[in-house]
Amino acid sequence: MDDSSGKMGQAELRKKVLDTELCTGCGACIGLCPYQATYRDQTIQLHQCDLNTGMCYAFCPRTPSDLDSLRKSFFDPLEATPEIGPVRGFYICRAADEGNRSRAQHGGTVTALISLALQEGFIDSAVVSESAEGFRQQSVTISDPAEVGKRGKSKLIVSHTVGEFNRISRGGSGKIGVVATPCQAFALAKMRLKPVEAKDNNIDKLQLVIGLFCGWALDWRKFTELLKNKTNLNEVTGMDIPPGKKTVEIYTKNETISLTGEEIDPCIRPACRYCVDTTAEFSDISVGSARLPESWSETRSWNQLIVRTSRGQKLLDLARRQGILVFREVPEGNLDELKKAAWEKKKLSLRRLIEKSGSEDNLLYLDHRDPVISRLLC
């Protein structure tokens, strides 16, 4: 799995992940030591560490990973699906409170669940992403349920959430929940396996992962350069990806700007092209934007949600009982369509990995012998 030197330290992390454009910016290597830092959405190695093994390499979701043992450690094998990971339940839902919904990206489900989890003591603090000046995204830790709603909107730019987890879990924090992209959820799962000896068991504080569906993220520098020619960055109120065509809509106070596929494509973060997880398979609950027969303006206020673990189920049931979330019937074939789309994305990413490595047997961070991966390769 590793190169012949057998070393798994910062230098190897650089060679295999940072220099090969595989870095997703998840932040798993940040906050562990003074050698890695994050700036804007880039992962930076500040100084050279000469240790042969380290947490940074072990936690990174893009170093060679054993997906199968992760699946077996945290999920019920009976619930596993090859396309979208373990599915205990599949729902269409949204936040009951309309005010909350309007501040959120789509149905406000994630906001509602996190607030509830904080309120009910499932977790003491939550690591979420928020918008910062100049179109940046940054990760913050909040403990007040009322604060969650302010961070509802998405800007399609990654922030170093796992790095913030690393930082906050060091202190006297209690139980921590994380709103994570698929790669971030994957990193947290790797950390839960405790691959390296650590001085303390900070990962045990992780009690809830809510994953977000994700197709790709944008590179901050390239995207802001593109936008600067079209509008004043300070006037942007939100952005979204309408289903179907590959466009991005930018909402400002006065207008909606539509960016075409040709314009967006060069701004996509390179690492996203090699991702095989669109539904955050390693979470307790995964949430995305619903796909419904109605018009986009109606659909966009609903979420689709996958429950994967018992604690995820517990939280969702509580949300239903307390009327925090409202549900509607799942249309026929909806889950199958989701699985199909996810499967195609996996295939595409694997093709790109093979192109990059030059060999079908070398999938860089994935193992071609993994049961799910090997099926994709047939």
Partner 1 sequence: MSILLEQNQDVPVLLLGNEAIARGALEAGISVASGYPGTPSSEIIESLSRVATERNLYVEWSSNEKVALEVAAAASFAQLRALCAMKQNGVNVASDFLLHLAGSGTRGGLVLVSAEDPGAISSVNEGESRYFAKMIEFPLLEPGDFQEAKDMTKWAFELSEQLRSLVMIRSVTRLSHASGNVRLGRLPENQAKAEFRYGGFILDPLEGLITSAPVVYKHAQQQLKLSKAREIFENSPFNTYTGPEKPELLIISCSTCALYGREAIHLLGLEDRVGLLKLGTTWPLPPNLVRNALSRAERILFIEEVAPFLEENIKVLAAEKATEVGIKIFHGKNDGSIPSVGELNPDIVIAAICTIMGIEYTAMDPQYEKKAQAASFARAPNRELTFCPGCPHRASFWSIHNALQMDNRKGFVCGDIGCYTLALLPCGYSTVKTLHSMGSGTGIASGFGKLGQFGLDQPVLAVCGDSTFFASIVPALTNAVHQRSNITLVILDNSGTAMTGFQPHPGLAVNAMGSQVPKVDIVKLCEAMGAKVELQDPFELEQTRETLNRLMEDPDGVKILVLRQICGLSPEKRAKKKYDMRIDEFLCLGENCGCNRLCTRIFQCPGLVWNKEKGKTLIDEVICAGCGVCASICPQGAIKSEEAA
Binders of partner 1 in range 252-271 (CB under 8 A) = none
* Binder among 42, 207, 252, 313 for partner 1 (CB under 8 A): 42
CB of 42 to partner 1, least distance (A): 5
User: What SS3 class is residue 26?
Assistant: coil
Residue 6's CB is within 10 A of a number of other CB atoms, namely 9
> In whole angstroms, what separates CA 89 from the centre of its chain?
20
CB of 198 to partner 1, least distance (A): 8
CA 287 to CA 305: how far, in whole Å? 5
Which two tokens mark 271? 């690492």
CA 271 to CA 17: how far, in whole Å? 9
Q: Which is nearer to partner 1, 48 or 201 (CB)?
A: 48
Report the relative pairing of strands 176-180 and 125-131 from DSSP bridges.
parallel
Q: Which is nearer to partner 1, 55 or 116 (CB)?
A: 55
Q: Which is nearer to partner 1, 196 or 354 (CB)?
A: 196
CB of 306 to partner 1, least distance (A): 35
CB of 56 to partner 1, least distance (A): 8
Question: How would DSSP label each residue in 207-273?
Answer: EEEEEE--S--B-HHHHHHHHHTTS-GGGEEEEE--SSSS-EEEEESS-EEEE-HHHHGGGB-GGGG
**Nearest by Cα to 216 from 251, 175, 152, 265:** 265
226 binds partner 1 (CB under 8 A): no
196 binds partner 1 (CB under 8 A): yes
Q: Which is nearer to partner 1, 88 or 160 (CB)?
A: 160
Q: Which stretch binds partner 1 (CB under 8 A): 38-46, 206-214, 251-259, 277-285?
A: 38-46
Binders of partner 1 in range 18-37 (CB under 8 A) = 32-35, 37
223 binds partner 1 (CB under 8 A): no
Single-letter code of the amino acid located at 91: Y
Binders of partner 1 in range 44-83 (CB under 8 A) = 44-51, 53-55
Binders of partner 1 in range 309-348 (CB under 8 A) = none
CB of 140 to partner 1, least distance (A): 18
Residues 283, 287, 288: CA angle, nearest 5 degrees? 135
Binding residues for partner 1, rule CB under 8 A, total: 20
Which two tokens mark 359? 């060999």
Sheet containing strand 236-240, edge to edge, reads 236-240, 248-252, 256-259
Q: Which is nearer to partner 1, 43 or 349 (CB)?
A: 43
CB of 365 to partner 1, least distance (A): 21
CB of 24 to partner 1, least distance (A): 16
**Nearest by Cα to 190 from 305, 359, 329, 26:** 26
Residue 161's CB is within 10 A of a number of other CB atoms, namely 29
Q: Which is nearer to partner 1, 106 or 167 (CB)?
A: 167
CB of 265 to partner 1, least distance (A): 21
Q: Which residues bind partner 1 (CB under 8 A)?
A: 32-35, 37, 39, 42, 44-51, 53-55, 196, 199
